[in-house]
Amino acid sequence: MTRILITSVGSSPGLDIARSLALDPTLTLVGGDAGPWGRRLGARVCHEVIALPRADRSPTAYLDALDRALTQQAIDVVLVSLDVEVAAVAAKVIAIDLLCVGLELEPLPLPDPGPGEPSRRRPEGAADLGARVPMLTAEGLAAELGPGTYHVNVRRGHSLVPEEAGLQIDLVNALYLPDLLDPAMPGRRGLARTQLEAIATRVSALNRCFYCSAGHAQLLAMAGGDGPAPSLADAAAGRGEAGVAHGEELLALAEALVRRRSSLDAARAQASRVLDDEQLLGAVATVAAFVLLNRVSDSSGIPLDDVARGLLAAVPDEVGLGAMPGSSR
């Protein structure tokens, strides 16, 4: 058994890393955190937890505790939860696993480790752009990946490792929409744009991701056209005037996948009565896309995009996001 120590395990990136690795029965996960609450959270997904001081507050105490853990706990591998690449890989694995769960498929096995050492290359131009970690500008990421739409921060949250940012963009394009900020883009897989944005907004609210919930609440309002903004609360209650067809079934499925796995079979059966196979795939894929994007936003600490700052304050209430159970602004 390989023993892996995950630092700051109570943080969102740390928990994501632990959840993704917990799928491998050959690993023993040891979570380390400075606070009792973080260790309590880590105990939900790790086999063991230990006290580990915060590196930014007491580097010497942190290194001493890490050295003790390596020897006394027989640790083989240390994963620092603030490492962008580790958080990026974990976010993608969680999204793909959720897609498999939603479609009643067996989870994909984790690949065998490849040979060689990490490149540890830091892309030229990575800088403090207001996030928790360094990022590239849209122009900088284009220089790494080629032409594309990179101006939204969530596409660049993990751009300190450009290859991971590129894989994220490809995966979200496949699961959701290729141009996520174009309100004129129609729906996909038999679902209307209002249905996709209702799912995106609700999943993001459940995951406490203000960046995504605010932005997609705006897109939901715009997708409603010239009429009244679609209402999430009305859609969840099955009121037809909500502007989101089959909203009750779609939002129940999204909530079951994100928060209430015990009700997933019932929610999937209910959705299957009103959605065909392609639409059901589209709904589950959209949930997976935003589980990924929410984790990118949370782990990187990206700020709201400049273009959105002055527009978003009232929109979450306009579409009734605040009235939904579990929503937080």
Q: Are 31 and 46 in contact (CB under 8 A)?
A: yes
Q: Where do you find CATH 1.20.1290.10 in the chain?
A: 193-323
| Superfamily of domain covering 2-82 | NAD(P)-binding Rossmann-like Domain (3.40.50.720)
The most confident of the ranges 42-56, 84-98, 109-123, 276-290 is 276-290
CA distance 161 to 173: 19
Contact (Cβ atoms closer than 8 angstroms) between residue 291 and residue 95: yes
pTM of the model: 0.76
Tell me the CATH number of domain 193-323, given options 1.10.540.10, 1.20.1290.10, 3.40.640.10, 3.40.190.10.
1.20.1290.10
Three-state secondary structure call for residue 8: coil
Q: What is the pLDDT of residue 160?
A: 92
Q: What is the pLDDT of residue 156?
A: 94
- Whole-angstrom Cα distance, residue 222 to residue 275? 24
Query: Which part of the chain has CATH 3.40.50.720?
Result: 2-82
pLDDT tens track for 189-198: 989 888 999 8
Two tokens at 313? Answer: 């304050």
328 pLDDT above the threshold of 50: no
Mapped onto helix, strand or coil, the DSSP state of residue 136 is: coil
- Burial tier of 8 (Cβ tally within 10 Å: 0-12, 13-18, 19+): buried
pLDDT at 240 over 80: no
> With 70 as the cut, is the pLDDT of residue 181 above it?
no
**Residue 324 confidence class, pLDDT cut points 50, 70, 90:** very low
Question: Would you place residue 49 in the very low, low, confident or very high pLDDT band (cuts 50, 70, 90)?
Answer: very high
